[in-house]
Amino acid sequence: MDKKKDDVVQSFLTALDHGYRESFLMYAENTYSVYEIWLYASVLGYEGGFNVLEQWIQTNYPKLNRRQLLLAEIVKLESDIDFLRQQVHADLVKPDAAATRIAHLSKELRGHVVEVDKITKGTDRRGLVLAGADKVMRELRSIFKENEDVTNALELAYESVWAMLIDEK
């Protein structure tokens, strides 16, 4: 990761008091969604870009990409089905034995496709909601930056909304 980009996240972490920093680091370690980590960072005052934070997360707290793994399994299953069909055409496997195996592999393949679709739709929807929430928070901070009373009230409101978002998981 670029040293300059790492400095943005490190500056953000250094600016946090100990309790918030520890809370954020634990959240970053235990949360699967980079979008949620980014929104939590925004609630805590992170002003850097999403890509910078995402790279920092992947460097320090790598996340398993379930969607990518399922897509790779789909490709393998399709290959297995094609290979089995080729063996039937070459008279290496009896059609009745292959039919059972192909049906099983096809069922597994359809299950993977459905799961990828669920992950994609859920991630896209949640990501859009979180990006919208982040945009609103940034705009409100910008509009009321001169009024400390309003800014303090907004910060409390952001923390409350964040707590509700976490409870909705």
pTM (2 decimals)? 0.52
CB 39 within 8 A of CB 165: yes
CB 159 within 8 A of CB 43: yes
Averaged pLDDT, groups of 10, the chain, 169 residues long: 70 91 91 83 85 89 82 91 92 88 90 83 68 76 84 81 66
pLDDT at 83: 93
pLDDT at 22: 92
Do 72 and 57 lie in a common domain? no
pLDDT at 150: 85
pLDDT at 21: 92
Do 92 and 29 lie in a common domain? no
Do 122 and 81 lie in a common domain? yes
Between CA 14 and CA 26 the distance in angstroms is: 15
Would you give the end-to-end CA distance of the chain in angstroms? 31
The residue whose two tokens read 């901070």 is 141
Do 79 and 130 lie in a common domain? yes
